């Protein structure tokens, strides 16, 4: 009925032609978004404009301040001392590794 040994639908040729057409016609666009600064800046600007238009600017600034201060606090109080301790003690590093893995994995299941 069907001969599956020969190719009937040349999907690889279609995709190759489409990608070539995209690169030839829109190379200027890909050159702009290739540099990560523009993407990050555009996303940040768009997000902040959306937050402002929705009227959430005060709440957003409070949230950013709380998150930033908690990151600084946790880094100074816990991250640096535990990092130094784990760097000096193989035993503590062996204990800390699974704990950090669990802390990173469990929120995804919750």
Residue 59: count other Cβ atoms within 10 Å of its Cβ: 11
Q: For residue 1, what are the CA distances in angstroms to 4, 6, 9, 92, 96?
A: 9, 13, 16, 66, 62
Which tens digits make up the pLDDT trace of 66-90?
Answer: 999 999 999 999 999 999 999 999 9
Which tens digits make up the pLDDT trace of 16-69?
Answer: 999 899 888 888 887 877 777 777 888 889 998 998 899 888 899 999 999 999
Would you kindly state where each structural domain of the chain is located, as residue ranges? 11-109
Higher-pLDDT residue of 40 and 3 is 40
The model carries a pTM of 0.51
Cβ neighbours for 96, distance < 8 A, ≥ 6 positions apart:
82, 86
Write down the pLDDT at residue 32.
Answer: 77
């Amino acid at each position: 009925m069907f001969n599956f040994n020969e190719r009937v639908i040349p999907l690889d040729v279609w995709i190759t032609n489409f990608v070539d057409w995209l690169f030839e016609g829109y190379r200027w666009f890909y050159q702009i978004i290739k540099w990560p600064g523009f993407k990050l800046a555009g996303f940040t600007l768009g997000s902040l404009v959306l937050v402002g238009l929705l009227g959430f600017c005060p709440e957003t600034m409070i949230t950013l301040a709380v998150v930033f201060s908690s990151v600084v606090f946790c880094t100074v109080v816990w991250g640096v001392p535990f990092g130094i301790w784990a760097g000096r003690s193989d035993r503590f590093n062996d204990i800390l590794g699974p704990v950090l893995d669990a802390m990173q994995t469990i929120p995804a299941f919750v």
